Amino acid sequence: MFEIRIHSRGGQGGVTAARLLALAAIHDGKYATAAPFYGAERRGAPIVSFVRIDDKPIRIYSQIKKPDMVIVLDASVMDVVDVLQGLKSGGRVLVNSAHAREFKGFTSSHVDLTGIALKENLVVAGSPILNTPVIGALAKIGIVSVDSAKRAIRETFTDERNVKAAEAAAKEMSA
C-alpha cells in the first residue's frame, strides 16, 4: 500500500487533489481511497487529506500515521504544521515552490504549481488552481500513469487548460 498525506489550506483544493489522485489510480486498475480529515474547517486554515493506493481492496479508515509521501500545496503551512511528522525514512516530500527545498533523510522535490496555474490563467475566486497541475507532477514520478491522470482530470473538469497545466507541471517538476 502507498500512503500519501496532502497538506493545504482550506479552499486551495487539497480535497479535490486527493479525489483526482484516487480516481486516476482507479483508472490504472488499482484500489484507492481519498479521505479528507474533517475538523472545524474554514477557508485558509491548514487542512490534511489522505490518499491510499493498493493492489487489493483497502479496509483501513483511520488516518495515515506513517505516510510514504507528503505533498505540501502551500509552503506557508510548514511554518505552523510539522509536515514531516511520521513520514517514512527515505519517503518523498513534494512542495509547491519555485525553489528547491532540502529535507534531510527524505527525497525532496519541488514544482511551482502556483506559477503554472497563473500562467494558464487557472484562477477561481482569486485563488490559483493547484489540484490539477499537482496530478501531472505525480504522474511524472509514476504514482499514477499519465493517461489515467489526464482521464481523471477530464472527467472532473471540462476546461482543457487543466490538462495543459498538468503537462506543464510534469515537465517542470524536479525529479
Binding site for other proteins (CB under 8 A): 18-19, 22-23, 26, 31-36, 38, 58-63, 65
Shortest Cβ 58–other proteins spacing (Å) = 8
The residue (of 9 and 19) whose beta carbon lies closer to other proteins is 19
CA distance 10 to 18: 13
For the bound state, the minimum distance from the C-beta of residue 17 to other proteins, rounded and expressed in Å, comes to 12
d(C-alpha 120, C-alpha 115), whole Å: 9
Hunting for cell 505516510 — which residue is that? 67
Q: Let me know: does 128 contact 119? Beta carbons within 8 Å.
A: no
Least Cβ distance, residue 122 to other proteins (angstroms):
22
Considering the complex, what minimum distance in angstroms separates the CB of residue 112 from other proteins?
27
Phi-psi region of 49 (alpha: psi -120 to 50; beta: other; left: phi over 0): beta
68 with 90: CB under 8 angstroms? no
